[in-house]
Every structure is written in structure tokens, then in C-alpha cells.
């Protein structure tokens, strides 16, 4: 059995402190992050660049779907008919309503997170997938735990408060 090991950059406490500071205040400047971990701004910038190059830190821009006219979210499980596995993946990739598509274990092969303009538009989305298999849909009523990052290594302490971010 393959055992996953933490990336070597995560063995450096300052890198973990930098990520914790960034999670706490995503809009902090490089100078503010540097102060939070007790380094210079160029050092903090270089650490962030190395974390990005290693794939530990992903650049992102989070948008609010509801503010963009997509107030409803649903999860759709898809069980493709034989020979249509790749077609479902390609369709999911091509549809702007599909925010995520994951290949999963179990009776279904895919789970999709989709954004919808209204309940009435759900049929049009599902109809495109029904040509390739069976769907099971759950509309999201509320989100008690919004999407969040994976936890940082437990051995890491939160950054010392050297200055307010």
C-alpha cells in the first residue's frame, strides 16, 4: 500500500506559519505576511513562490455564484451506461453549470457540483446527462460548513501575533 508523505516544504515551520497567516487573512500584503512570520518581505515572497511551484498553494479567485445569477446549487450523481464513462466526463467539462466533477467509488461513477439559475433549469442540465446514464440529484438547502482548505500539519503552531494583519 502506498503511503502518502507530506511535502518536504511543509516540514519547514515558517512555511506552515505563512500558509496559516494566509488562510487567516487571504488579502494580506506580502509585507503583512512577512511580519506575521518574522521574515523579510522578499523572503516571504520567495517562500510563497516555492509553495506555488510545488503545487501546495494554488492561486485562486473565489466568486459568489449567487451574486452572478446562479443562486441554487445541487449535487448530481451520475451512473453512466456502459461505454459512456468518458462522454459523461467530457460533457461535465463542457457545461458551464458544472463547477466540479469527481470520479467516485460506489454504484455511481461521478458526482458533480452544479450551479443553477432556478429549479426550472435543472431539467435542462439533467437531460443532457440522462442521454449517457442515470442521475440522482440533491438540491442544497444550506451550507453549514462552507468549502475550506485541508488542515495544515497538526504539529504546526499558529503564527505568533507579531502584528495585526
**Is the domain of 129 the same as that of 86?**
yes
Answer yes or no: is 126 within a domain: yes
Read off the pLDDT of residues 127-144 as tens digits, 9 standing for 90 and up. Answer: 999 999 999 999 999 999
Instruction: Return the half-sphere exposure (C-beta side, CA atoms, 13 A cut-off) of residue 120.
Output: 0
Domain that holds residue 80: 66-139
Answer yes or no: is 145 within a domain: no
Q: Kindly report the CATH number assigned to the domain that includes residue 88.
A: 3.30.70.920
**Is the domain of 88 the same as that of 131?**
yes
Q: What is the pLDDT of residue 5?
A: 82
Residue 111's DSSP bridge partners are 77, 102
Q: Kindly report the CATH number assigned to the domain that includes residue 27.
A: 1.10.10
Q: To which residue does cell 516555492 refer? A: 50
Q: What is the pLDDT of residue 158?
A: 52
Amino acid at each position: 500500500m502506498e503511503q502518502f508523505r507530506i511535502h518536504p516544504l511543509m516540514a519547514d515551520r515558517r512555511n506552515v506559519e505563512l500558509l496559516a497567516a494566509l488562510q487567516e487573512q487571504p488579502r494580506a500584503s506580502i509585507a503583512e505576511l512577512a511580519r506575521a512570520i518574522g521574515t523579510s518581505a522578499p523572503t516571504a515572497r520567495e517562500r510563497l513562490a516555492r509553495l506555488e511551484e510545488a503545487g501546495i498553494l494554488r492561486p485562486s479567485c473565489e466568486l459568489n455564484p449567487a451574486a452572478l445569477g446562479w443562486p441554487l446549487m445541487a449535487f448530481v450523481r451520475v451512473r453512466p451506461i456502459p461505454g459512456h464513462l468518458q462522454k459523461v466526463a467530457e460533457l461535465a467539462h463542457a457545461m458551464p453549470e458544472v463547477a466540479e466533477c469527481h470520479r467516485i467509488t460506489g454504484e455511481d461513477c461521478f458526482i458533480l457540483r452544479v450551479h443553477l439559475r432556478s429549479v426550472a433549469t435543472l431539467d435542462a442540465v439533467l437531460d443532457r446527462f440522462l442521454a449517457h446514464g442515470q442521475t440522482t440529484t440533491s438540491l442544497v438547502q444550506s451550507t453549514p460548513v462552507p468549502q475550506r482548505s485541508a488542515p495544515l500539519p497538526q504539529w504546526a503552531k499558529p503564527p505568533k501575533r507579531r502584528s495585526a494583519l
